[in-house]
C-alpha cells in the first residue's frame, strides 16, 4: 500500500497509523460537504453543486497554455549530449536487428508458401 492510499484510508477511518485495518466499531466514511456554486451564496441563487461534479475555472487561453508548457519543460530532466548519442545508437541498432528479423521471416514464409502451392 503506498503512502497516498494509506493516508486516504486513515482519513476514512479504515486503517490505523501503522496501516493495519481498524477492528471493532467501524464508523462510516466521512462525506465531503456540498460545495456552493461559483460566486457564493448571493450569486446565481446559491444552488448546490454535487460532490463529484467537476468545477469549472476561468479559461486561460493560448498564452496561459504556452506559459504552462514552458514551465513544465523547465522541470524536465534533459539528457546530456553523450546520453542522447548512446540512446540513439541503441535505438538504431535495435531497429536494424528487428527489421532484419522480420525481413527474414517474411522471406522464409514467402518461400514456404510458394513451395507449398507450387508457384
Residue pLDDT, tens place only, 45-90: 555 656 665 665 667 789 999 999 999 999 999 899 999 999 999 9
Q: Give residue 5's pLDDT.
A: 82
Number of domains in the chain: 1
Categorize the per-residue pLDDT at 12 as very low, low, confident or very high, splitting at 50, 70 and 90.
confident
pLDDT digits (tens, 9 = 90+) for 1-11: 688 888 888 88
Query: Is residue 9 helix, strand or coil?
Result: helix
Residue-range definition of the domain harbouring residue 85: 81-119
Residue 115 lies in a domain: yes
- Domain-embedded: residue 26: no
**86 in any annotated domain:** yes
In a domain, 73, yes or no: no
pTM value? Answer: 0.41
Cell of 98: 528487428
Region of 13 (left: φ > 0; alpha: ψ -120 to 50; beta: rest) is left
The DSSP H or E segment spanning 67 is: helix 62-75
Whether 114 maps to a domain, the answer reads: yes
Encode burial over 26-44: b for 16+ CB neighbours within 10 A, e otherwise. Answer: eeeeeeeeeeeeeeeeeee
Amino acid at each position: 500500500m503506498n503512502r497516498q492510499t494509506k493516508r486516504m484510508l486513515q482519513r476514512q477511518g479504515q486503517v490505523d497509523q501503522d496501516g493495519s485495518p481498524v477492528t471493532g466499531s467501524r464508523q462510516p466514511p466521512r462525506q465531503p460537504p456540498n460545495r456552493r456554486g461559483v460566486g457564493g451564496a448571493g450569486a446565481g441563487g446559491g444552488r448546490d453543486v454535487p460532490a463529484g461534479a467537476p468545477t469549472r475555472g476561468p479559461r486561460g487561453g493560448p498564452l496561459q497554455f504556452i506559459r504552462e508548457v514552458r514551465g513544465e519543460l523547465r522541470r524536465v530532466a534533459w539528457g546530456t549530449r553523450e546520453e542522447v548519442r548512446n540512446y540513439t545508437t541503441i535505438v538504431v541498432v535495435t531497429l536494424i536487428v528487428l527489421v532484419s528479423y522480420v525481413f527474414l521471416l517474411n522471406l522464409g514464409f514467402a518461400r514456404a508458401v510458394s513451395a507449398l502451392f507450387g508457384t
